[in-house]
Chains A and B, each alone.
Chain A
Amino acid sequence: MIAASAGNVVVWIVWVVAAFTCLGSAVAVVSFSNPFYSALALIGNLGSLAVLYLLLSAEFVAAAQVLVYAGAVVVMFLFVIAYVGPRRETPWSGGPGWQTIGAVAAAGALMVEIIVAIGMQASGSLSHETEVGTAFGTPAWIGRVFLVDHLLAFEITSVVLLIAAVGGVILGSHTKRATT
């Protein structure tokens, strides 16, 4: 919970900075030709997202974001990138001529459509900001909701993690000599 001091202006400034960092690092992820730098840019993206989550009164999720994503996932990425070795490629090359144009068009279309959808809804149910209590977003609150209201999701998520771990180990293990 951020102290409600100096009114909206601080919140807005923080939001703008975080948003720009987010988008800028996203573009960097997509644009760098060295995957190492892309992974580093991803860290910036994840950090800015954590800030945004804090603005949205989701403290636990913000903490989990930094711990899990920036801590574990990106580190995994960096390990594998280092293992695989240096690769450089021109980012926007290759494939049939219409691939690039089609990709830009599709991605742009999706973006525009979602924004339009939001705009259409903006006068509807998105216009009423409700006050949330101070307990909203705390770990205790999350824990209770997780374990009481959404226990099934909790269990399934743990199963998914287990399967992923097993799969990752199998995929990454040494293969036996092929007998062909």
Chain B
Amino acid sequence: MSGPDVAWYLALAAVLFGIGALGVLIRRNTLVVLLSLELMLNAGNLALIALSRHFHNGAGQIFALAVMAVAASEVCVGLGLVVALNRRNLSLDVDTLSELRG
């Protein structure tokens, strides 16, 4: 069956990636930042799967599964951070976590 070319899928992935990046850069709530990060990861996954289908190479799907696993781990750790912050009654506003000032 023929549907949209792989280029369409890649373009979709690019736009999704951009929206995710925008969210990471602009939102101040840590949780929403993590959600936007998920969007970016999914965009990468989509690109991988599309190209795997196009080049008939299984490695793309394997890589996508690995990315999924890593994303899950990262969410786990990130949410652990959020919980730890909350337990210490610190604000979840990314702007207040500014000890990295140069």
Contact = CB atoms under 8 A, between A and B. Distances in A.
Interface in A112-167: 114-115, 118-119, 122, 126-127, 129-130, 132, 136-137, 141-142, 145-146, 149-150, 153, 156-157, 160-161, 163-165, 167
Interface residues of B, number: 74
Contacts of A137: 53, 61
Interface centre among B35, B58, B64, B87 (most CB of A within 10 A): B35
Interface residues of A, number: 94
Interface centre among B23, B26, B62, B77 (most CB of A within 10 A): B26
Given A42-B39, A100-B26, A111-B14, A69 B68 contact: yes
Interface of B: 1-12, 14-23, 25-29, 31-32, 34-36, 38-39, 42, 45-46, 49-50, 52-56, 58-59, 61-66, 68-77, 79-84, 86-88, 92-93, 95
Given A108-B18, A150-B62, A165-B73, 6 more contacts: A8-B2, A8-B3, A29-B19, A29-B32, A58-B49, A64-B65
A164 B72 contact: yes
A118 B9 CA distance: 10
Given A65-B68, A73-B38, A172-B83, A26 B4 contact: no
